[in-house]
Structure 1
Amino acid sequence: MDDGEVSVHHTVGFALAKPAEVLGAEPYMHELVAGIERVLVPRGGSLLLRIVPTAAEVAATIRRWAEGGLVDAVVLIDLVPHDPIVDLVRDLAIPAVVSGDPETAGGLTTVWSQDDLAMETAVEAMLELGHTRIAHLTGPAHMAHTRLRMSAFERLAGRGDAATSIHEGDYTERSGREITLELLRGEHPPTAVIADNDLMAIGALAAAAELEVSVPSQLSILAWDDSPLCQLSEPPLSAMSHDVQTIGELIAIAVLDAEAGRASESIRAPRAEFVARGSTTAPPVTEASASVLGKIQT
């Protein structure tokens, strides 16, 4: 679509199943919405945002919007494998764009942040520092993007012969803190933690402080989205830096194209980059860590 083109007024629906605790505190969704509106508003569009408790209520909301003619298109996010909402929007004949991987989208247009490649970069960064015990704090494991991250985590960490563990959270700071407390009290605590969002990384940082575990000399922590929370923490959190507002802009452009009847496509958002700050460093060198580092370097 031409950047100078102005469309008639249209409304894009965006229904989210998110705990209020997460939505209120997590910057990611605010940045995503800002990016979407940056494209829609100058073109006479608006975003209808609805927060509901469950995925079933997301589907019910979209059905109500479509049958009432309240929206011209919808944005779908946090899909699960073989998600029935894909068939729903097809049955309703409403244009839709998925923020997620193409395999889950069932042929709908997607804007994909390449979570698997981002996780590969994250694990490689920890392995290159010499970490041999790495924990992954995930979001809800039923979500497709969580499964992709988990698979990439296991594959890359296994290549370096690191001891790994995966622990399901719910994107809240509380879950990051509770999981990390349990890990640090274990017989073989991790030397590095990769968290699936910034709130859980902040929770991991709080757990380390509570147990007087030094970050980063005893525990490295890597966050995911690189929101301002990462730079304001103490120490500042290393992160996989995503350009979230650009992702939102790409979603909005894709929605406008879908409304115009253009063929579906898979759009790749800029790949996340590892940004090193004060929360990651090499662990104390042991025979095991030296062996893993040698394998990565060769």
Structure 2
Amino acid sequence: MTEAQRRVGLVLARASRVLGEEPYYHEFLEGLERVLTPAGVSVLVKVVTDRQAESDTYERWAARRHVDGVVLVDLAPGDDRVALVNSLGLPAMVLGAPSTASGLPTVWTDDAGFAHEAVRFLAGRGHEVIGHISGPVSFAHTQLRRSGAAAEAEALGLQLLHAEGDYSYESGRAATVELIGAGPTAIFCDNDLMALAALDTLRERGKSVPDDVSVVAWDDSPLCQLATPALSAMSHDVGRIGELAAGAMLDAMAGAAPVVYEAPAAHIVTRASTR
């Protein structure tokens, strides 16, 4: 490929409807392209149904020299995709915990630490039974959030309830129904879409937010401010995370030594959904 034709690939093994609704990757791609486009690099996004299809895509791209590098996301502990892209000679960077990256350049968010902070925030408002709606538990970042939340709840003597979603609105509704019976007075969610689902489900079940149950989102996209009531959130600079990932990708494509970049610190933004 010529300089103007360079491409970076991003494969997302998620349902297309989730990606259509989910603000995170829209904001991430905006940040990625802010850095890559001026460098003459385009971004190729492919949505697949499962991990095998994702691996097949990397093999096909490498064989056809279709991309100059790939961004790896949603890794699991001991994930074999790192070894795969290395064997294919594809420059790569990891969006996720350095423990999953096996020496690749990495942009990571302190998921465990911010889950600690979310639990502390709710505990400070008098909540003793807290629900957590996580993403898929196979993801390393989900495991870190769950372990961080559990450690903080144990330290504070709180009851922490878990339910698993897949980042979709529908899974957020199902997880909220699962949690309601145990009587949480607060729920925090691993993305904004599931938090919106929690708001709607609680309202349908006759629960007032925040008088009966407080709700906290995780990302702080514009959806949080548009919600009724507006959602408190663990606010992340997702666009900046995309910019850092782009820089790490350009370094990998240039053969630079791998570097671990820490994303900007997240912080709680308090709105009407928490009492």
Report TM bin, short chain. over 0.9
C-alpha distance in structure 2 between counterparts of 1:156 and 1:167, whole Å: 17
1:76 corresponds to: 72
Residues 9-24 of structure 1 aligned to structure 2 (within 5 Å):
9-24=5-20
TM-score by length of 1: 0.90
TM-score by length of 2: 0.97
Deviation at 1:118, TM superposition (A): 1.3
1:176 aligns with 2:172: yes
* Cα deviation code 1:267-298 (max 9, x no counterpart): 001011100000011xxxxxxxxxxxxxxxxx
**Aligned-partner residue type, residue 106 of structure 1:** S
Q: Which runs of at least 4 in structure 1 moved beyond 4 Å after TM superposition?
A: none
C-alpha distance in structure 1 between counterparts of 2:261 and 2:63, whole Å: 29
* Cα deviation code 1:190-210 (max 9, x no counterpart): 001010111110111011110
C-alpha distance in structure 2 between counterparts of 1:249 and 1:233, whole Å: 27
**Aligned-partner residue type, residue 104 of structure 1:** T
2:203 corresponds to: 209
**Aligned-partner residue type, residue 192 of structure 1:** A
C-alpha distance in structure 1 between counterparts of 2:80 and 2:179, whole Å: 36
* Cα deviation code 1:218-254 (max 9, x no counterpart): 1000000101111000000000101001000000011
C-alpha distance in structure 1 between counterparts of 2:179 and 2:86, whole Å: 44
1:106 aligns with 2:109: no
**Aligned-partner residue type, residue 148 of structure 2:** A
1:3 corresponds to: none
1:220 aligns with 2:214: yes
2:86 corresponds to: 90
C-alpha distance in structure 2 between counterparts of 1:179 and 1:196, whole Å: 12
C-alpha distance in structure 2 between counterparts of 1:163 and 1:247, whole Å: 32
2:133 corresponds to: 137
C-alpha distance in structure 2 between counterparts of 1:40 and 1:81, whole Å: 29
SS in 1 for 2:219: coil
Deviation at 1:260, TM superposition (A): 0.9
* Cα deviation code 1:23-69 (max 9, x no counterpart): 01011011111111111111111001111011111111011111111
Residues 1-298 of structure 1 aligned to structure 2 (within 5 Å):
8-184=4-180, 186=181, 188-281=182-275
**Aligned-partner residue type, residue 279 of structure 1:** S
* Preserved CA contact (<8 Å) 2:135 2:166: yes
Deviation at 1:8, TM superposition (A): 5.0
Deviation at 1:170, TM superposition (A): 1.1
Corresponding residue pairs, total? 273
1:292 corresponds to: none
C-alpha distance in structure 2 between counterparts of 1:182 and 1:99, whole Å: 30
C-alpha distance in structure 2 between counterparts of 1:247 and 1:275, whole Å: 18
* Cα deviation code 1:169-217 (max 9, x no counterpart): 1111111112212322x2x410010101111101110111101211001
C-alpha distance in structure 2 between counterparts of 1:35 and 1:230, whole Å: 20
Unaligned runs of 5+ in 1: 1-6, 282-298
Bigger Rg, which one: 1
SS in 1 for 2:94: strand
1:287 corresponds to: none
For the aligned residues, what is the CA RMSD?
1.0
